[in-house]
């Protein structure tokens, strides 16, 4: 991609592979990361939503990081999701991330408890203070029932010098524009593959991607086209990717992407409850989308 690994453009929100007994298969995660590295990904975020973070233990998250870091061997940045809805627990895991080989940490807006903005500010400031590593804040109101406002993010950045990025999955382009107005030097990543183009058009930096598990070259190509102001090409690539982006959210993420990887011959195991296999109709939608983006030769249904 030609980007320094320190500021990756295409970060795959890596799935967490499980073995037949439901145990974490950190070695398989390393294999997948290496495969994606070869195909255009220059960064990975581990133990995020797509990595089934709520059902991973802190030790599993750290072992995942160690394994993937070893596998990619400096060819891609490896960031670890360390945020939970518990500030003390988040601080503890964040402090441990450095020793596990993380080059950065991602912390999600606390879910379920719906803290007010001053509480969010204190939460993220405590996490940032716990590490010398760069921090990416992850805003996904659809899952957390809580929106981190741009002004709060600006206050946080003024307090904590290691907050370098935000993963914006609010689906609110006006909010993204306001973040970039207030914080022009902050790296804004799209948290939604379908919105990579508009967010980069506003000045965003890249994407934390799910689709890049399957078509990393195309996701990288879209991001490159945006960086190089090749907007006609970017629009075409965006439209080509949309059916796949839609299919990957036909049911709760990461169910579709794990099924898609299995259909393409790179199985990563099942899911931890309460996640479960898709319905037959959902599985058919996923298979059809794979065929539509030219993975029909690989996909077996």
The tens digit of pLDDT for each residue in 100-128 reads: 999 999 999 999 999 999 999 999 999 99
> Is residue 263 domain-shared with residue 229, that is, in the same domain?
no
Q: Which two tokens stand for residue 117?
A: 């903005």
Name the band, by pLDDT with cuts 50, 70 and 90, for residue 1: very low
**Within-domain flag for 4:** no
Q: Identify whether 167 is a catalytic site residue.
A: yes
Name the band, by pLDDT with cuts 50, 70 and 90, for residue 206: very high
CATH code at position 63:
3.20.20.70
Q: Identify whether 138 is a catalytic site residue.
A: yes
Domain that holds residue 66: 10-238
Q: Specify the residue for token string 């065929």.
A: 291
CA–CA dist 191, 209 (Å, integer): 7
Q: Give the H/E segment covering residue 97.
A: helix 87-97
Q: Which two tokens stand for residue 252?
A: 């709760």
CA–CA dist 240, 117 (Å, integer): 38
> Is residue 20 domain-shared with residue 133, that is, in the same domain?
yes
**Within-domain flag for 14:** yes
From the candidates 61, 85, 167, 189, give the one annotated as an active-site residue.
Answer: 167
According to DSSP, the residues that pair with 25 across neighbouring strands are none
DSSP sequence for 101-131? T-SEEEEEPPPSS---HHHHHHHHHHHHHT-
> Is residue 69 domain-shared with residue 174, that is, in the same domain?
yes
CA–CA dist 56, 192 (Å, integer): 23
φ/ψ (deg, to 5) at 140: -140, 75
Q: What is the pTM of this model?
A: 0.95
CA–CA dist 232, 116 (Å, integer): 42
pLDDT in tens, 43-64: 999 999 999 999 999 999 999 9
From the candidates 61, 138, 189, 258, give the one annotated as an active-site residue.
Answer: 138
């Amino acid at each position: 991609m030609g980007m320094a690994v320190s500021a990756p453009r295409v970060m795959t929100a890596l799935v967490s592979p499980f073995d037949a007994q439901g145990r974490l298969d950190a070695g398989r995660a390393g294999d997948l990361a290496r495969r994606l590295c070869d195909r255009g990904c220059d960064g990975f975020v581990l133990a995020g939503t797509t990595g089934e973070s709520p059902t991973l233990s802190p030790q599993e998250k750290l072992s995942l990081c160690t394994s993937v870091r070893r596998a990619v061997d400096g060819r891609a940045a490896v960031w670890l999701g360390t945020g939970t809805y518990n500030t003390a627990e988040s601080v503890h895991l964040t402090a441990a991330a450095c020793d596990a080989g993380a080059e950065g940490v991602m912390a999600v807006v606390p879910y379920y408890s719906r803290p007010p903005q001053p509480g969010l500010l204190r939460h993220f400031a405590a996490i940032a203070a716990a590490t010398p590593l760069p921090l990416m804040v992850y805003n996904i109101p659809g899952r957390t029932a809580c929106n981190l406002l741009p002004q709060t993010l600006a206050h946080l950045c003024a307090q904590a010098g290691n907050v370098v990025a935000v993963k914006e999955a609010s689906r609110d382009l006006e909010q993204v524009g306001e973040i970039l107005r207030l914080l022009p030097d902050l790296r804004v990543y799209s948290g939604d593959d379908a919105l990579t183009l508009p967010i980069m058009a506003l000045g965003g930096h890249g994407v934390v991607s799910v689709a890049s598990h399957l078509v990393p070259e195309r996701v990288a190509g879209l991001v490159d086209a945006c960086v190089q102001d090749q907007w006609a090409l970017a629009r075409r690539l965006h439209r080509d990717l949309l059916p796949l982006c839609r299919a990957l959210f036909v049911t709760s993420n990461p169910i579709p992407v794990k099924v898609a990887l299995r259909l393409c011959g790179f199985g990563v195991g099942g899911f931890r409850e309460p996640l479960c296999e898709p319905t037959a109709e959902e599985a058919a939608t996923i298979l059809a989308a794979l065929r539509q983006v030219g993975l029909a030769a690989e996909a077996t249904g």
